[in-house]
Every structure is written in C-alpha cells, then in structure tokens.
Amino acid sequence: GDSVTQMEGPVTLSEEAFLTINCTYTATGYPSLFWYVQYPGEGLQLLLKATKADDKGSNKGFEATYRKETTSFHLEKGSVQVSDSAVYFCALRPNQAGTALIFGKGTTLSVSS
C-alpha cells in the first residue's frame, strides 16, 4: 500500500543553520504531497503542499519540491530559527477521491540559540 518514510529525528540545529528533512513515498499514480508542522501542545498545521510533479510548495521560508523520479518531497529551510522547533510530518493523499492522508512518523526539530 501507499506509505511515507521520513528521516528519524531528533534533528538538532543551531539558529541560522540550514535544514533538510528527508521524505520519500511509495504510491501508485500521482499523489498530492504535504508537510504538516506540530508545535508543542497543538494540533497539526499545514505548512506547504504540492499536487503534481515538479511543483514547489513554499511557506514561511520552508520549501519542498515534488520529485516524481526520486519519489521524494524533502523539506528545506535556509536559516532556521528557535521558533521553528516543532515536529514535522510528511504526508501524501492518493490521487483518488475518498481517501485520507497517510502520514510519516514525524521528525522532531530542535533549534537552539
């Protein structure tokens, strides 16, 4: 079945460092891809999404490009801040009606000043 694999954390960075969180997927067809972020004690919030190959989703300085050839959707940010400390979830939604999101296990990011 369809699945999402994320790099395991925690990822610990200093402020202003470059961030990459790897995400690969297995799916038939062309799923939509999402990154969600969960701040401590809160629900998940959509960070960015891409719905077709070569699309780039971006928000708040974060970017991810839908790479069909490598079945990847890696999350990047050029300069992280302490406020970016959170759990990041990669997810896919199969390209058919009536399906729910399939999530990766999440990657914890901790940024120190």
Binding site for another protein (CB under 8 A): 31-32, 34, 36, 42-46, 49, 51, 89, 93-106
Instruction: Report the residue number, 31 or 74, with the smaller CB distance to another protein.
Output: 31
Distance, in Å, from the CA atom of 38 to the CA atom of 85, rounded to the nearest integer, reads 9
Instruction: Report the residue number, 74 or 89, with the smaller CB distance to another protein.
Output: 89
* Whether 91 contacts 51, CB under 8 Å: no
CB 94 to another protein: min, Å? 6
CB 111 to another protein: min, Å? 21
Encoded tokens for 74: 């890696």
Encoded tokens for 91: 């997810």
CB 80 to another protein: min, Å? 23
* Whether 31 contacts 2, CB under 8 Å: yes
Instruction: Report the residue number, 84 or 94, with the smaller CB distance to another protein.
Output: 94
What would you report as the CA-atom Rg of the chain, rounded to the nearest whole angstrom? 14
